[in-house]
Amino acid sequence: MTKMADFAPPAGGMRPPRNVRTDLDDLSAVRVKSELDLHIVRMLELHPKLKVRFRNYDLASLDHDTKTTLLNDINLVLGVKTLKKRDT
């Protein structure tokens, strides 16, 4: 919680985005069983450049550790570093 914590007025128009991306892959057929699965599938859809390297992964056949490794590899390719909560 930052020192700016304040009372917030509402925002947004309660309507969907006008400009949605059209360059996304469609992996809606992939079965998602967990938050981790959903996260991985979304990463693959949001970043079409990952297609070549990771598209053949069958999530249903992977255990949790393997999925975690897969996500780490995806993050490495995209330059997404792990956010860690600082000890206070």
Partner 1 sequence: MLLLPNEIDLVRAEDNYVVEARFVRLSRTIAKTKIDGTWWQDLDAPTEMRKRENDNSWHWASRLGELRNSRWHEAFAIETLDGDIQGAILYWLNARSFVESEKGAVYVEALSTAPRNRSWLVSSPLYRGVGEGLLVRAAFHSYVVGLEGRVNLLSFRDERTISFYTKRGVESVGEEDGLEQMELSPTEAFRWLRDEGYDL
Binding residues vs partner 1 (CB under 8 A): 1-2, 4-21, 24, 28, 35-36, 39, 42-43, 46-47, 68, 71, 75, 78, 80-86, 88
- Compute the chain's Rg from CA coordinates: 17
The minimum distance between CB 31 and partner 1, in angstroms, equals 13
User: ∠66-72-22 over CA atoms, to 5°?
Assistant: 105
The minimum distance between CB 23 and partner 1, in angstroms, equals 9
The minimum distance between CB 58 and partner 1, in angstroms, equals 19
Cβ neighbors of 80 (< 8 A, separation 6 or more) are 74
